[in-house]
Structure 1
Amino acid sequence: MTTEILTFKDRVRIDIADHVADVHLIRSDKMNALDPDMFAGIIKAGAALHERSDVRAVVLSGEGRSFCAGLDMASFTALGDSGGPNKLTDRTYGDSNKFQQVAMVWRKLPMPVIAAVHGVCFGGGAQIMSGADMRIIAPDARLSVMEMRWGLVPDMGGYTVWRGFVRDDVIRELTYTNREFSGEEALSLGFATYNDSDPHGRAMAIATEIASKNPDAIRAAKALFNKVPDMDSDAILIEESVEQAKIIRSPNQMEAVMAFMGKRKAEFKD
């Protein structure tokens, strides 16, 4: 198995093998806290993956003791100078500013993203995690919607992504109090898809399974999941039909059928 390795700003490394991109935040000495280079590295990594037709699933994790400790407060002034409060409303990445894009880039990727969370996952880290399609969280992980501690509101895409999987009153309580909760509690609150003491291993297993499916259908399914929260029933029904019409009887769809009937591994085209 050949592995392709990409690095971005000495903050993010991507290992690509067998159609799975294994993305690591690599500022482990600072628990992967978000400084200007980490913001830039995450955005560049996401942009690179967006162009990869050979990548069928992504796993996102942090190296060292934690997933991401949130904003590096020592870099707070530098971050403000690079954007400034008056620049927060500038839409520099489609519908997002720079700070929102580090979470939204994972939701915008055409392929599924699985976050593997261990250790600390605070503030911006919790919002980055939440941009993934699924979240595998260690039971003893420590999480917090941290921003209220600093007298701020979550503003890195959290309000957009949380509405899809966290109950409204729950996310309000966690935001207003900024209390810490465990990975085990995260499961009951809706943040975690699964608890696992080896979140990265579980995430890689799921990604490998996804990578064995028709990539055209997987991408269409994600596109539908991203669109439907803002649609009414009529629009959803027609959008399902539009996506299906693009896939049905295509070479990869026919290969899925033939592989299943022949009890063999499918050989899809990127």
Structure 2
Amino acid sequence: MSENRVTLTIEQGIARVILNRPEKHNALDLAMFTAIDNTINQIKANRTVRVVIVAGAGSSFCSGLDTKSVLTNKTGALKLLFKWLPGNANLAQRVCIGWRRLNVPVIMALHGKCWGGGMQIALGGDFRITTPDCSLSIMESRWGLIPDMGGTVALRECVAADQAIKLAMTSEIIDPNQALSIGLITQVATDPQQVAIELAKQLVERSPDTNRLIKRVYHQIWCPHERRILAKETLNQIKIIVGKNQRIAVKRAQGNHDIEFKL
């Protein structure tokens, strides 16, 4: 099933990745997480790829986590959060961090809804180009969660701390002009995919070794503590989830059977 969630085509050194669950606004279920992770690995193994463009099919780039599908399935949630070491990236984090770890530039072409997990994926790109009517949000706090998909690493590079805290605490939905003013996105364009293709063609003309080293050095300078951030994201998310479950257990023990726990 996961192979239908993402399409990958490679032509003249440009890999074009399409999130392909349009009937659900490309919401992230476990199959989508797995498909994105597999696609990143395919690109990593293909030495002909010089630039990557990531976009979404249908009316949105990605509306975020499919909470009904993922978080009501304990096995699925464990697969997303599991990691051998705190500083490693788990599956949820690899769909963001994986793009950063590619040795080639990655351009995100955004439209429609780019919320929650979708915003986290977009933050994995080196460039983010949006339509004028795109809406963007770090939405996890709306469900009582913290952002834990690796986007914090990129967010540290893009925006000031006060702006990052505000976005994460409020789950505010912002427009591209607001996003551009704080550094969350790179450019606003009527046709982000066409602009992405034009930029990709420019980047293909440059030395792949130069692009690789620029990307690596700049990421290391702007964010030298990637593993520490990944560990803190996951450990604090687990604390929140465990705390919620404990409070639910206490209320049930006290005879309150009407509570409902939604993520």
TM-score where L is the length of structure 2: 0.81
Task: Note the residue ranges of structure 1 that are not aligned, 5 or more in a row.
Answer: 1-6, 232-270
- Look up the match of 2:54: 60
Give percent identity, aligned residues only.
Answer: 38
* Matching of residue 209 in structure 1 with residue 232 in structure 2: no
Aligned pairs, number: 225
Task: Tell me if the contact between 1:146 and 1:178 (Cα under 8 Å) persists in the aligned partners.
Answer: yes
* Matching of residue 178 in structure 1 with residue 171 in structure 2: yes
Deviations 1:108-153 (A, max 9, x none): 1110000000000000000100010010011210111110110100
- Look up the match of 1:132: 125
Task: Tell me if the contact between 1:31 and 1:64 (Cα under 8 Å) persists in the aligned partners.
Answer: yes
Match of 1:101 among 67, 84, 94: 94
Task: Tell me if the contact between 1:28 and 1:64 (Cα under 8 Å) persists in the aligned partners.
Answer: yes
* Matching of residue 17 in structure 1 with residue 11 in structure 2: yes
Give the secondary-structure state (helix, strand or coil) at the position aligned to 2:114.
Answer: strand
Letter in 1 for 2:119: A
* TM-aligned CA deviation for residue 55 of structure 1: 0.6
Q: Distance in 1 between matches of 2:156 and 2:73?
A: 27
* TM-aligned CA deviation for residue 226 of structure 1: 2.1
Deviations 1:49-97 (A, max 9, x none): 0111111000010011000000012212355322439x83624898201
Give the secondary-structure state (helix, strand or coil) at the position aligned to 1:23.
Answer: strand
Give the secondary-structure state (helix, strand or coil) at the position aligned to 2:222.
Answer: helix
Letter in 1 for 2:49: V
Q: Distance in 1 between matches of 2:65 and 2:132?
A: 23
Q: Distance in 2 between matches of 1:67 and 1:92?
A: 31
* Matching of residue 119 in structure 1 with residue 112 in structure 2: yes
Deviations 1:183-240 (A, max 9, x none): 2211112111011011111111101110111112111211212222356xxxxxxxxx
Letter in 2 for 1:47: N
Q: Higher relative contact order at CA 8 Å, sep ≥6: structure 1 or structure 2?
A: 2
- Look up the match of 2:45: 51
Q: Distance in 2 between matches of 1:9 and 1:193?
A: 30
Q: Distance in 1 between matches of 2:218 and 2:8?
A: 25
Q: Distance in 1 between matches of 2:62 and 2:19?
A: 8
Match of 1:221 among 199, 204, 214: 214
